[in-house]
Amino acid sequence: MPIKISIVEDNSGMRENVALLLNQAPGLHCVSTYASAEAAVRDLPLQKPDVALVDINLPGMNGIECVAKLKTQLPQLQVLMLTRYEQSDMIFDSIRAGASGYLLKDTPAEELIQAVEQVHSGGAPMTMQIARKVMDHFRQIQKPASAVEKLTPREQEVLTLLAKGYLYKEIADQLNITINTLRNHLRTIYEKLHVHSRTEATVKFFGRD
């Protein structure tokens, strides 16, 4: 069975060209086209396509809202955004709405056909520039510091020796501090780690929770 495709695009020339391109490709069949999101939300589910190509900048309801509504009606529908926009917020809003891929309108015809096949097979095709933006976004997300990493350098020294099994007196001697000072450090460490014993603190140290 050919892959059934619907197109949601307000530019008539673009809509017709993409439909023609898809219908000429072996194994693909464009079953419907829509000039607005409202028309697509109303009629597209009746066609039950496998893949939908959706523009973002549509008159009235935008493409991202359209995708969200279509996915509630057809959860198995695979959506490819086909747009001119490269802004990160639009990329992630589209993905959150349910899109599985994101292509720019200047994507070569052969790559567009491959993207339709890939998304139908469970892939997540993206234009190279878009994939780079997604990668850069996740690189910029810093992993939250663990509770252990929030300790001061001296507190980390105390906890390290504690985890190695040193006695309190041995820790105090090695760090050249008094037992009272050590106890003060331990009290602060326990508070910061939200623990109540040496054993719990050691577990936190090795787990870096």
pTM of the predicted model over 0.85: no
Q: How confident is the model at residue 203 (pLDDT cuts 50, 70, 90)?
A: confident
Residue 11's pLDDT is 95
Asked if 126 and 101 count as a contact pair (C-beta separation under 8 A), the reply is yes
Q: Which residue has the tokens 């695979």?
A: 78
The 10s digit of each residue's pLDDT in 64-83 is 999 999 999 999 999 999 99
Q: What is the mean pLDDT of residues 172-188?
A: 92
Q: Enumerate the CATH 1.10.10.10 domain ranges in the chain, comma separated.
A: 148-207
DSSP 105: T
d(CA 189, CA 202): 11
| Architecture of the domain spanning 3-140 | 3-Layer(aba) Sandwich (3.40)
pLDDT digits (tens, 9 = 90+) for 108-117: 999 999 999 9
Q: How far apart are the first and last CA of the chain?
A: 51
pLDDT given at position 99: 92
Residues of the chain within CATH 3.40.50.2300 domain(s) are 3-140
Which residues face 8 on adjacent strands? Answer: 34, 54
- CATH C-level class of 148-207: mainly alpha
pLDDT of residue 162: 84
pLDDT of residue 200: 79
As a whole number of angstroms, the distance between CA 201 and CA 133 comes to 40
Q: Is the predicted pLDDT of residue 145 greater than 70, yes or no?
A: no
Banded pLDDT at 30 (limits 50, 70, 90): very high
Those residues whose C-beta lies under 8 Å from the C-beta of residue 190, and which sit 6 or more positions away, are 196, 197, 201
Label residue 144 by pLDDT band (50, 70, 90): low
